[in-house]
Structure 1
């Protein structure tokens, strides 16, 4: 029987609470108080906070940990890094793609959500997680994948307040479709350009929705 380590469970709970703004930027994360609230000892909390600090979701100063601040400058810097990483991932995916997998993804994007489809609260963008996974695997670069995984928690937190806009969700689906088309065609330049356009549109929308 598989047992989840206490530190892993604490990490997952705190991470999701930060992403969902249950724990807002600047919230103090005292080891004793947090351990009592979650129901574990201080050691798992300490390990979880170390992981979240490495991920950029928690800021540490000495023995004090707080939910990392989030300003417009932080958001812009995050998207600048994201564009650098994701455009390169798209290039490599176009170069090394599995035509069958991306062909199936394209068909699903063009078909769109089924009538009455309800977007999941934590996965509001249609097929975005599936597209991320397909690109990661096609790019086949462990260092690039690791760098992307390191910032995805921050990205999820940033776009929390932007996800209720149905018009943006529809546009994002159209932009994702263009990215898949470019990758399927093996067009590295267009794949990178389509990714850059999508991310710049996303940044503009996020900046307009953040309560900071």
Structure 2
């Protein structure tokens, strides 16, 4: 019997994943030959991937070098405006369309993530999985595509708001409120709960950035 081999990730996805998990951080220089060696692929797909990432503004030019882009204050604010509305819509549609199994997965995620409160990096990864699950539960492929683009840009932020003291516990309580609204099929409550969740995260991030700049 022929075994089905797991699909290998292409160069674009490999680099994007590395940015997403923080292996490559804003300001890091990406060298074509180094990336080819790191991921075990030829330089041609690496070059094409870098060009694609530059087109999407995830990479930027520093002289002749490509570096991971960073977001200034205005870009971050603009991103959060878009994210707030799209995430709220996803929650509204999830309350309308999510299956009972999808709702149960969301419930389980909230409970399982409580074990990660002492590890902000792990909690941040779990947070992305939670939000992705809500996106999928909206059952709207075009919305999912747009939110994927937004979350790629979120990876350009140097820190996670979940690193703030006490933010993890608050975020999980907010996640619980979102899931409760979705499970009750309360579209307005789900929309409002997720919008409020993103708003608090934005305020937290602004405070973190303010403290880091004042410390310089």
Please give the TM-score of this superposition, normalised by the length of structure 2. 0.76
Map 1:101-180 to 2 at 5 A: 101-103=102-104, 105-106=106-107, 109=110, 113-114=114-115, 122-125=121-124, 127-158=126-157, 160-180=159-179
Gaps of 5+ in 1: none
- Deviation, structure 1 residue 166: 4.9
Q: 1:21 to 1:72 in 2, by over 3 A?
A: farther
**3-state SS of the aligned residue for 2:122?**
coil
Aligned residues: 207
Q: Name 2:195's counterpart in structure 1.
A: 196
Q: 1:187 to 1:167 in 2, by over 3 A?
A: same
**3-state SS of the aligned residue for 2:54?**
helix
Equivalent of 2:8, from 4, 8, 32?
Answer: 4
Q: Name 1:75's counterpart in structure 2.
A: 76
Please give the TM-score of this superposition, normalised by the length of structure 1. 0.77
Q: Which moved more, 1:161-170 or 1:83-92?
A: 161-170
- For residues 132 and 70 of structure 2, what CA distance do their matches in structure 1 show? 28
Deviations 1:1-39 (A, max 9, x none): 44636xx2x434533443455544344435356546666
**Contact 1:105/1:131, CA 8 A, preserved across alignment:** yes
Gaps of 5+ in 2: none
Deviations 1:84-120 (A, max 9, x none): 2111111111111213431453366368625xx5766
Q: Which moved more, 1:162-171 or 1:144-153?
A: 162-171
Q: Name 1:48's counterpart in structure 2.
A: 49
Cα RMSD, aligned residues only: 3.3
- For residues 65 and 190 of structure 2, what CA distance do their matches in structure 1 show? 43
